[in-house]
Amino acid sequence: MILLPLALAQDAVTLEAVRTTQAGATPASLSFVLGVSGALDARLSCSGQAYAISERVRSGQTVTLSLDGLALGAHACSGSLRLEEADGSYGEMPLSLEVQVLDALTLTVDKADLDLDAQRISVAGSRPLTRVEVEVFDATGHAVGRGAVSDAGSTPLELEWSQPDAEILKLALTGTDQHGLTASLELSPWSYAIPHEDLHFATGSAAIAESEAHKLEAAYGELSEVLAKYGSIVDVKLFVAGYTDTVGDRAGNQGLSEARARAIAGWFRSRGFEGSVAYQGFGEDGLAVGTPDETDEVRNRRALYLLAADEPAVSGELPRAAWRPL
């Protein structure tokens, strides 16, 4: 790339290129940093797609030709640049560059790889990562901890952070790949099980009796207090899980627990909870008290009202992850 001698001698223009980008991010581009005033005409073709700038420019100005709309993959770009100064002298040069559009970088974390007590997390990227940073937020929304790790380029990366003793609501992660492209991910390990008195349902029924509604009202009061405290920091969601004892047919109990969980979830929605609501029935699984079949155990006829920002992890109490949105 060579300008005519007059233009080159005056440092008429400097080229700066963003050659690699990713889907959904700022597109690749070619910028012209002007050292003189005049008229700029730049034309470029990338994989058959045409781009052009033709305008008056001034010394010290930067003009950018944005190469938007390119599909994923590598693209050969070629064209020409003409710069004419006010006195009529001009310079011309060919333009040629390779640009690449990658899939958007994504970050993932297996909940088993998050240890809040040890203040350690393992982060995987859809491409090798050269750096991962974490910022940790407490229940007031303030950042109370930070950590970072750099690498030549691998995935996953494990990092640690330091923090004072505090209730952690959110972790904000930023990962950088070998091209300097970034991705972000927010995690909230916070959850809160609303203490409540379980409803009594008629045998084989999922209808909430009017005489039982006061129990849900008490739980809704607790829910509202938690929402007022944390709702501005994390997106609070409600998960309702239903359980039965071991009396009766297992398949029937599964369906009954799901219907009751849905009824409770619907009550909270109609009462005024505006966040995301999901429900799931576990039937005879996840028993609070282990019993043999056909055992009438009131402690197993229960429900769980869980407030959380992320879907709850599979556990002994929540043996499956098949939450259904209301």
Chain mean pLDDT for the chain:
91
Of 180, 86, 192, 88, residue with least CA distance to 128: 180
50 & 130 share domain: no
Which of the two residues, 51 and 202, has the higher pLDDT score? 51
pLDDT tens sequence across 244-281: 988 889 999 999 999 999 999 999 999 999 999 999 99
pLDDT tens digits, one per residue of 166-198? 888 899 999 999 999 999 999 988 889 999 999
User: Which of 187, 214, 249 finishes a domain?
Assistant: 187
Give the domain-ending residue among 102, 126, 141.
Answer: 102
pLDDT value, residue 10: 56
For residue 104, pLDDT beyond 70: yes
The total domain count for the chain is 3
Q: Looking at residues 90-94, what average pLDDT do you find?
A: 88
CATH number at residue 294: 3.30.1330.60
Q: Are 17 and 35 within one domain? A: yes
Q: Which domain holds residue 167?
A: 107-187
Percent of the chain with pLDDT over 90: 69
Assess whether 16 and 116 both reside in one domain.
no
Q: Which residue has the higher pLDDT, 20 or 166?
A: 20
Pair (180, 235) in one structural domain: no
Instruction: Specify whether 92 is located in the same domain as 208.
Output: no
Rounded to an integer, what distance in angstroms lies between the CA atom of residue 36 and that of residue 13? Answer: 8
pLDDT band (50, 70, 90) for residue 12: confident
Q: Domain boundary residue among 102, 133, 156?
A: 102
**Pair 267, 221 in one domain:** yes
What CATH code is carried by the domain that includes residue 173? 2.60.40.4070
Average pLDDT value for residue range 159-169: 89
Residues 94 and 111 in one domain: no
Lowest mean pLDDT among 88-92, 209-213, 223-227: 88-92
The β-bridge relationship of strands 20-22 and 90-102 is parallel
Token duo for residue 289: 């008290």
For 106-145, how does the pLDDT look when each residue is reduced to its tens digit (9 = 90+)?
Answer: 999 988 889 988 999 999 999 999 999 999 998 888 999 9
Q: Is residue 308 very low, low, confident or very high in pLDDT (cuts 50, 70, 90)?
A: very high
Determine the pLDDT at residue 7: 41
Least confident of 12-16, 20-24, 131-135: 12-16
Mean pLDDT of 151-161: 92
Of the candidates 198, 214, 201, the residue with the CA atom closest to the CA atom of residue 302: 198
Alpha helices in 39-171 (DSSP H): none
pLDDT at 40: 95
C-alpha distance from residue 230 to each of 16, 143, 167, 170, 222 (Å): 46, 15, 11, 11, 13
Angle at 250 between CA 248 and CA 256, to 5 degrees: 80
Read off the pLDDT of residues 29-54 as tens digits, 9 standing for 90 and up: 999 999 989 999 999 999 999 999 99
Q: How far is CA 313 from CA 2, 309, 319, in A?
A: 60, 12, 9
Six token digits for residue 104? 């958007």
Do 122 and 35 belong to one domain?
A: no
316 and 214 belong to one structural domain: yes
Same domain flag for 320 and 196: yes
Quick one: 228 and 250 in the same domain? Answer: yes
* % of the chain surpassing 70 pLDDT: 97
Q: Are 169 and 138 in contact (CB under 8 A)?
A: yes
Q: Which of 28-32, 70-74, 99-103, 168-172 has the lowest mean pLDDT?
A: 168-172
- Residue 234, pLDDT score: 87
pLDDT at 287: 83
